[in-house]
Amino acid sequence: MKLLAVETATEACSAALAINGIITERYAVAGNTHTKLILPMIDALMTDAGLSPGDLDGLAFGCGPGSFTGVRIATGVIQGIAFGLDLQVVPVSTLRAIAQDYFDHQDSQVAFVAMDARMGEIYWGVYRRDNQGFAQLIGEEALSPATQIVCPDLSGVGLGSGWGVYRDELMARLADRVSGYETGMLPRARAIARLGELGFTEGSAVPVELAMPVYLRDKVAKKESER
C-alpha cells in the first residue's frame, strides 16, 4: 500500500509517505508557515519515491484537536487530493499521534497526552499500547481545565505541551502515577501514516466528504458575534 499522510495541527508541520509499511517523512517546526511548507514537503516525498499522485492508494491526516487554522490546512490539503484522485481517507487524532510516536520509540505502555488549548484549558487523552504496538484510546478525548481531567487508574508517562504549561495542576491530579513527562512531543506525520495504514487494515477509512476536522472546542469555529 502507498499512503500519504499530513499533520499541521500544531507549530510542527510534516508530511509522510508509507510504502508497504516503510515510512519516510519531512518535518519542520514551522510557526505559522505551514501553508508554504506542506505542499513542497509532499512533492519532495513523492519525487524521492518516484511516485505520481495517481500511484497513491490512500490518505491520512491529523484531524485535530489543535490549532484551528492548522487543522484546517491539513484537512483542506487532504480533501483536495482525495477529491482529485477519488481516494479514501483515515482521519487520525493528533493526541493519538503523539502517543503513537512515543510508543514507536519508547517502552512505556500508557501515555497521558495533554496539549495546551489556551484559554486556560488542555486537550486531553489517555492512550494504552495494544499487543500490536498501537495507541488505543481509553475513555474519551476531552477539552477541560487541567484541574478537571478524568483519568483511569493507570500509571504512565505524560506527553505534550500541556505538561509544560500545567505541570503542577496535572501532577496534583495524577499524584504518583506519572513516571515522567516530555513537554516537547508534537504530533508527526510519521505516526499519522502508521495509524492511517492501520485504519485501512481495520476498514475505518472514509470517503472524502466524511473526512472532517475535530476541534473539541466548537466555539472556536464561530464568529465573534456568535459567542
pTM: 0.94
Give the SS3 label for residue 220.
helix
94 within 8 A of 187, measured Cβ to Cβ: yes
Q: Which three cell numbers stand for residue 51?
A: 511516485
Q: Which three cell numbers stand for residue 80?
A: 483536495
Residue-level pLDDT at 226:
37
pLDDT along the chain (227 residues), means of 10: 98 97 96 95 98 98 96 97 97 98 97 96 98 97 96 96 97 92 97 98 97 79 37
Closest CA to 213 of 115, 78, 120, 112: 78
Q: Which one of 3.40.640.10, 3.20.20.100, 3.30.420.40, 3.20.10.10 gives the CATH number of domain 2-93+187-226?
A: 3.30.420.40
Residue-level pLDDT at 87:
98
Beta-carbon contacts of residue 168 (< 8 Å; ≥ 6 apart)? none
| DSSP 8-state symbol, 200 | H
Class of domain 95-182: alpha beta
Angular region, 31: left φ>0, alpha ψ -120 to 50, beta rest: left
Output the DSSP codes for 111-160. Answer: EEEEEEEETTEEEEEEEEE-TTS-EEEEEEEEEE-GGG----S--EEEES
Q: Do 2-93+187-226 and 95-182 show the same overall fold?
A: yes
Residue-level pLDDT at 31:
86
Provide the angle, in degrees to the nearest 10, between the axes of the packed helices 189-202 and 94-105.
100
Angstrom distance (rounded) from CA 226 to CA 104:
42
Q: Is the alpha carbon torsion for 209, 210, 214, 218 positive or negative?
A: positive
Domain coordinates in residue numbering, the chain: 2-93+187-226, 95-182
